[in-house]
Amino acid sequence: NKMRGLIGNALFSKKTLLTSLKRPLFLPARAPIFLRSHSQRGISFLARGDQRKKLNLKEGDTLEGFRVISATNVPDRNLTAYLLQHDTTKAQHLHLDTSDTNNVFSVIFKTVPTDSTGVAHILEHISLCGSKRYPVRDPFFLMLKRSLNTYMNAWTYPDATAYPFSTQNAQDFNNLLGIYLDTTFFPLLREQDFRQEGYRLEPFNLEDPSSSLTLKGVVYNEMKGVYADSANVFAQQLQAALYPTSTYQHSSGGDPVSIPTLSYANLVDFHKAHYHPSNARFFSYGDLPLEGHLKFINERVLQHFSPKPFNGLITHEKRYTSPQRLMSTGPPLAGCDDTKQFKVAVGYLTNPISDSATTFDMNVAANLLLNGANAPMYQALIDSNIGLDYTSNSGYHPDFFESSFVVGLNGISQEDVERVENTIYEVLEKTSSEGFPQRRIESLLHQLELGYKHISADFGINLLSAVIHPWLHGASPTEALQTQKFIGEYQSRPQDARERLRRVLREQLVENRHRVTLQTQGTPAYAEQESGKEDQLLRQLVSGLTQQDRTRIVEDALNLRAAQEEPSNTDCLPTLSLEDISPNAPVWPVEIDHISAGSGRGAKSTPTSETDQPEYGECMWFPQPTNGVNYLHSKLYFSPTQVPLEILPFVPLLCAALTNVGVEGKDHRELAQEIESLTGGISLSPSLVADPHRPGNYSLSINLRSHALESRTADMFRLVSEILRSSTLDGQEDRLRTLILQALDSLNGDLMYRGHSFALQRASAVLPKIAESDPNPSPSLVAEVWGGIYQIQLLQSLVETEDLGPLVSLLKSLRECLIDTSKGRFSVTFDNKPDNRKSLEEGLQKLQGISGRSPRDVLLDQLKSHRNELLGEDEGPQLPTAKKQYIAVPGSVHYVAESVRTGLPYVSEGSPHLQLLSKILSSGQMHKIIREKGGAYGAGIQQGSWGFGFYSYRDPALFETLQSFAKIVQDFSPDSMSAEEIKEAKLSVFSEIDSPVSICDRGVARFELGLTDEMRQKRRDLLLKAQAKELADAAQLMKNADLPRSVCVVGPVLPEG
């Protein structure tokens, strides 16, 4: 339940594959150091990474006004944690000293709202809108393009607000540190910014001051989008019931009905009360010297403050003496018919998160209860097919002062509500009595070991996220980094571990009387009710206005508009130069050879030029310091003409089925147990990759990915081979229905969360092909049927189909058609040790010779026949064709998209120039017109080989935004581009290009995307050398009215007419 503020996620975590093991357990290892050779202006030479001067502080030492409270070596993380306290203000600072060059900083405040006006969330937005030292509008957004940051954001939690950033550049770190400190401790908090970011009354048509008044505001519209999602509303309702007397009963993001009751004075008071060093925590991570951080913080902030008591203490919730049961309504569940509009969940208030041992036990117990085919709750609720999937808030939540556990089911009928609730109780009672099988506990410990060894590119941000809540609520932050000790206890005393889990289930859940059951019905009337409340509030706000008030509102609106149109004077803001960008693209060593059945390794080859094409049987070997983990990635290719267009939409379901239905001699539960015990997972997914040379061309494949400890390499290949050779689809109708329901629930959740992506994909799907004579469907159409609105419609049709026997037959024929390792390529990322290399080569041989045996023309006839039997001839979802589409979903805001086809492939000279221009327009006029003036939460331009597309996100407007798309481009004058704007666009682009890459992904560009080092370097050169002339050419292309274009909007049901 975290609001990733200005450019982040929604208030509540979006629907994903449920993982109740939270941050403290699955933190991967840090990425090894990759030192860049470019300059870092303004910073005297610093030894970086492993060559840095390591800290050597001990408890009681003092440094820059801070005293060391503790110094803790964390060897399994390869870091030392120093906890310090400022002598005067008592502010604490946690520094994690490590060789990682991707340095992280955050300032964190405990923020305790007493209502649902969204004061903490709106303050998070406004504090970054200008400060004493940087009195410019929106220094946060301006710094996004003046920096080489690898992460910049702000997070609003229900009880905290954090402002994190990360960067690999030392000068950039100091630049951003200055911005973040000044905007949080010394913000201007202008009332004008409050009206823009929070809410305001404004004439509907500012050109006509007499037009009716309406409510606008970035946060206001953002939260209208959040509250249109049934998952978010349900989670907030249950949270309020579990925490009825504390700050957690309120919506920290803001309820749209309550936001307009917040006064500007209350916001200013909230800042005074909460944004003080005595209520702050500072966090830093990386290889840069701690002394410099502390000196900077002390001089810029702490020396200007005296100690101050903080009154926002969060105490233990008053516990219920008997379980509670509530009924409510919410937005309709997308993709469910009227009889399946119910959801029910049981929530428990559990242990304080300062109790680290119980928190760990609950994390483990929740994972074993809920996750995977062998979890007892999964077997009882998900395998029964009485609902779609778990509710999105299911799992263990160690995020508040006191944690909670929730389990529930989506998309059920009213008559099944009681059955679901009783099943939950029965499973908890039985599991707490019998305990978990020892093998499942060992499998989970194996997953934890892999999680520790897996090397992540954003490790510092993950650690920050892990320590925030324990630290704020009284636990030692360093203890949250040392979960290895609990894992060791489980491994050394397995019987004690089983008993610990039985005990924690009984004490925290079965015998816990602070229990809430929430039953919610999704109904269209909910949106009408909420809209009625908003209309009533608007009438109340307007009814008491005098003519003088109305005049002031119009004047304020005009003044805000004038301020929004005024160019920003960025002279006061720090920046980097183009010299800070490395001229050279990172190069990962690779060896290429070929594998053929029975012949072992083929001749070595080395990529020599951008014209090299992938070859079947090719294997790329990427030697990397993988910390004892081997990563396998394979692509099984098939031609677009190999599978009819009407069959292509079934490929994602085939991929899901093959790893989830069992294999010869093992049912799906036995297979799942082996995968969990021996590997880090095995996944299959459809892949579409644009040809980097030829516009409109693309490759299709089924991608297989897995990883395992070196000692389990042979087991990984054996399981992969079994899945590809002998997955058992016969008799799996019920299992397929489960997978369909889960996929539908996940995609519907994604649609509500990122509707702009679905709208842009749908719009692109109807654009004409580059070459009309091309017999293949366009790549955008394939992407739409695989993962867009078409795929949602197909899954809905399958849910409504009683007999899935024809689907089994279809998937069997499709497997025969597509699973062919003789048309595969392989990639291995590994520690280059002789014995390890040999075991990998032996494993790859086991994957050879897997293919179907039926003639292709027979398979095609079978596929079409099975499809018609399943859905009916010429029945089922229809392919999109209209150039203007409107997709109605529950809610009150829009996701607007316009797609334009250009056909500039990766290697073309125009593509990088269009990328730069897209950045200029996205951060310039689109941000100003659609976000600041229009009130949308976000807007931008997405550019790719297919073309480019405009989008807006959680947008109150529709027609105005569509008009703005065209106007922004047509009004853009290349002559108005300054050298500074071009430089900022380049910094913004390279901030993304040069972000750290996880070890397992360092071969992705070469293997998956077909981009050689030479191709990436050429594009890099074009980006760095681009000047106004090249961008003017890109602008002319963007303005070309003859380019094919289409529009799609995902939004609320429109009134007739």
CB 387 within 8 A of CB 459: no
The residues with which 348 forms a beta bridge, in sequence order, are 405, 515
Sequence-distant (≥ 6) Cβ neighbours of residue 242 within 8 angstroms: 248, 317, 347, 348, 349, 404, 514, 516
Strands (E), 262-390: 280-286, 324-330, 342-352
Catalytic residues: 124, 197
Q: Phi, psi (5° rounding) for residue 770?
A: -60, -45
Q: How far is Cα 957 from Cα 209, in angstroms, rounded to an integer?
A: 19
Q: How far is Cα 915 from Cα 219, in angstroms, rounded to an integer?
A: 29
Nearest CA among 7, 1, 11, 201 for reference residue 752: 11
Q: How far is Cα 467 from Cα 463, in angstroms, rounded to an integer?
A: 6
Q: How far is Cα 399 from Cα 404, in angstroms, rounded to an integer?
A: 8
Residue 538: CB atoms within 10 Å: 16
How long, in residues, is the chain? 1057
Q: How far is Cα 199 from Cα 67, in angstroms, rounded to an integer?
A: 43
Which pair of tokens denotes residue 896? 């607007």
Q: How far is Cα 983 from Cα 142, in angstroms, rounded to an integer?
A: 13
The residues with which 940 forms a beta bridge, in sequence order, are 951
CB 1049 within 8 A of CB 896: yes
Which pair of tokens denotes residue 391? 């509710």
Q: What per-residue string of b and e applies to 506-522 under the rule 16 or more CB within 10 Å gives b?
A: bebbbebebbbbbbbbb
Report which DSSP code applies to 343.
E
Nearest CA among 354, 402, 362 for reference residue 243: 402
State the amino acid at position 255 in one-letter form: D
In Å, how far are 717, 763, 1022 from 902, measured between CA atoms?
A: 42, 14, 19
Sequence-distant (≥ 6) Cβ neighbours of residue 356 within 8 angstroms: 470, 475, 479, 480, 486
Report which DSSP code applies to 204.
S
Nearest CA among 187, 190, 132, 201 for reference residue 154: 187
Q: How far is Cα 361 from Cα 1022, in angstroms, rounded to an integer?
A: 53
Which pair of tokens denotes residue 665? 């001699």
Q: How far is Cα 436 from Cα 458, in angstroms, rounded to an integer?
A: 33
CB 373 within 8 A of CB 550: no
Helix, strand, coil share (%) of the chain residues, nearest 5: 45, 20, 35
Which pair of tokens denotes residue 160? 């905290």
Do the bridges between strand 29-30 and strand 3-4 make them parallel or antiparallel, or are there none, so unpaired? unpaired
Which pair of tokens denotes residue 713? 């390499």
Dmax of the chain from CA atoms? 89
Nearest CA among 241, 236, 269 for reference residue 254: 236
